Amino acid sequence: MGRAKKSPPPESGMRQFPRRCMSADRLTTEASGGARSVSERIDAVVAAEWTRRLTMPHVVHLVERTSGLASVFGPFGDPLAASVFADRFLADLADVLPSGFVVTVIPLDPPE
């Protein structure tokens, strides 16, 4: 006698599309007069943003560990000047406040 007919899998009734994987490096754009990959454009934008932030004024934010009292010093012309100030300030206070500080150098974003 005959065997029962197998029904096709449910996905076989769906239209199949060829699988195409395109890496981000293959995607290109015609910006700046030539073809550049998406990853190159992202790298350029990130580098430009970091360069811009390095030229901005910075402040030093200090939080005294035991009391939680916060202070802000600055603005300084760049992050290096702010970091030098923070190092000297902490060295001067190391004997006075042994619990120490949490120090953060922060760029001052211009108001929008």
pTM of the model: 0.57
User: pLDDT value at position 10?
Assistant: 52
Indicate the residue type of 69.
L
Rounded Cα gap, residues 36 and 30, in angstroms: 7
- How far is CA 55 from each of CA 10, 26, 77, 108, rounded to the nearest angstrom? 60, 33, 8, 10
* Per-residue pLDDT at 72: 95
For 36-80, give the secondary structure using H, E and C. Answer: EEHHHHHHHHHHHHHHHHHCCCEEEEEEECCCCCEEEEEEECCHH
Query: How do residues 38-89 score in pLDDT, each as one tens digit?
Result: 888 898 888 888 888 888 999 999 998 888 999 999 999 999 999 999 999 9
